[in-house]
């Protein structure tokens, strides 16, 4: 039996990056994508000192009740609504995410979804593949122009700011709503202005959601909010399922209350509301906004860095770079990253 601390990696990722742990840890990596039950998670965590997990792994007090050795859960994602941070903190377990390394990739993808929905790319491709294209129609497949329209962003963190910066090239008026306005210097860099939520809903031609899923943000966009939007507007969600009431959105899209939507995330993913699947004016993708080679590698590397650092190894030794509950480090006598 090895004396090294043990790390469990819940999903296949990049072996050459995970191999950075081998010098200091006994590593167990799952060979395929699996959705674990709470009992299965508890069993896998029971004898581990660290875990690198993904958004499918929902971990709280029950899952770590027998994991007396566990010191860190490193999440492969910037969002961490899959983790009960309060419960993990109470148990003295550090939690980290992969903040910042995916900002640009997600912003790029948000724009791909926005443009795809505006120009009806998904529906047009399905129509073409089905063999319906026999002649070009001058007034067929008319979409919406982006240039000169109003882009609204709900949630103006680093990803929202990256999305806003890209709007400059399209000559768009950028408005946003956040828990609080950005500093004036950041607003200037993004060429964006703060508005309240009703103004954001009413004025946006394209509304992009980039806020975390919390108890307060669940169904931040529901039937009342959709009713405040222009019937010509497009809604884009690259944040989290649950921020949008999918049933209400499907109803608005079907009734003409909203022109189109583009969704990378869903309330009950991987299940998608059947009413959304039946609509041609919604572009759907399977939660892949950060799925570029470079970004997923960077996310894995950052999770590894956090694990190494917590155990006193690597360039961030003792100071995990993206820890979410630094009080755990203080309690353990370590120094949280500034």
Where exactly are the structural domains of the chain? 6-101+293-332, 103-284
- Reply yes or no on whether the pLDDT at 213 is more than 60: yes
Active-site option among 269, 297, 313, 337: 269
pLDDT confidence of residue 330: 76
With CA atoms as reference, report the closest residue to 96 among 79, 118, 114, 121.
79
C-alpha–C-alpha distance, residues 293 and 42, integer Å: 31
Class of domain 103-284: alpha beta
Round the average pLDDT of the chain to a whole number and report it: 95
Fold of the 6-101+293-332 domain? Rossmann fold (3.40.50)
**Is 269 assigned a catalytic role?**
yes
- Reply yes or no on whether the pLDDT at 128 is more than 60: yes
pLDDT tens for each residue of 216-231: 999 999 999 999 999 9
Mean pLDDT calculated for residue range 104-111:
98
pLDDT confidence of residue 337: 47
Ordered strands of the 94-96 beta sheet? 26-29, 6-9, 50-53, 72-75, 94-96
Query: What distances in angstroms separate CA 53 from CA 147, 194, 294, one per listed residue?
Result: 40, 36, 19
**Is 119 assigned a catalytic role?**
no
pLDDT confidence of residue 228: 98
- Reply yes or no on whether the pLDDT at 334 is more than 90: no
For a pLDDT cut of 70, what percent of the chain falls above it?
A: 97
**Is 179 assigned a catalytic role?**
no
pLDDT tens for each residue of 154-179: 999 999 999 999 999 999 999 999 99
Task: Decide whether 6-101+293-332 matches 103-284 in CATH topology.
Answer: yes
C-alpha–C-alpha distance, residues 149 and 117, integer Å: 15
pLDDT tens for each residue of 19-44: 999 999 999 999 999 999 999 999 99
pLDDT confidence of residue 64: 98
Q: 1: pLDDT confidence band, cut at 50, 70 and 90?
A: very low
pLDDT confidence of residue 3: 86
pLDDT tens for each residue of 39-83: 999 999 999 999 999 999 999 999 999 999 999 999 999 999 999
Mean pLDDT calculated for residue range 185-192:
96
Contacts of 15 (CB under 8 A, 6+ apart): 29
pLDDT confidence of residue 338: 45
C-alpha–C-alpha distance, residues 134 and 34, integer Å: 44
Active-site option among 58, 218, 287, 313: 287
pLDDT confidence of residue 2: 53
Active-site option among 240, 273, 316, 319: 240
C-alpha–C-alpha distance, residues 255 and 276, integer Å: 13
CA atoms within 13 A on the CB side of 31: 0
With CA atoms as reference, report the closest residue to 146 among 171, 123, 121, 128.
171
């Amino acid at each position: 039996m090895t004396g090294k601390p043990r790390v469990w990696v819940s999903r296949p990722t990049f072996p050459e990056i995970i191999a950075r742990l081998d010098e200091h840890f006994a590593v167990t990596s799952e060979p395929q994508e699996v959705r674990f039950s709470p009992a299965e998670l508890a069993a896998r965590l029971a004898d581990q000192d660290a875990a690198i997990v993904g958004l499918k792994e929902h971990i709280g007090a029950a899952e770590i009740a027998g994991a007396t050795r566990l010191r860190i859960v490193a999440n492969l994602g910037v969002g961490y609504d899959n983790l009960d941070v309060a419960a993990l903190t109470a148990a003295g377990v550090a939690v980290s995410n992969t903040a910042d390394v995916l900002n640009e990739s997600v912003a790029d993808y948000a724009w791909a979804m926005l443009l795809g929905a505006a120009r009806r790319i998904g529906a047009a491709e399905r129509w073409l593949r089905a063999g319906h294209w026999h002649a070009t129609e001058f007034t067929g497949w008319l979409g919406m122009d982006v240039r000169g329209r109003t882009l609204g962003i709900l949630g103006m963190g680093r990803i929202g700011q990256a999305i806003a910066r890209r709007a400059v090239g399209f000559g768009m008026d950028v408005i946003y709503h956040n828990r609080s306005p950005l500093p004036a210097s950041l607003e200037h860099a993004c060429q964006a202005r703060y508005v309240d939520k009703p103004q954001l809903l009413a004025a946006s031609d394209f509304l992009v959601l980039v806020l975390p899923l919390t108890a307060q943000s669940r169904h931040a966009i529901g039937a009342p909010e959709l009713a405040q939007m222009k019937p010509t507007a497009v809604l884009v969600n690259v944040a989290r399922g649950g921020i949008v009431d999918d049933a209400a959105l499907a109803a608005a899209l079907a009734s003409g209350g909203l022109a189109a939507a583009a969704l990378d995330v869903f309330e009950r993913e991987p299940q998608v509301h059947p009413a959304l699947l039946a609509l041609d004016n919604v572009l759907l993708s399977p939660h892949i906004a950060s799925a570029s080679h470079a970004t997923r590698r960077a996310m894995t590397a950052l999770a590894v860095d956090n694990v190494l650092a917590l155990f006193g190894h690597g360039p961030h030794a003792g100071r995990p770079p993206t820890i979410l509950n630094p009080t755990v480090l203080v309690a353990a006598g370590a120094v949280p990253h500034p």
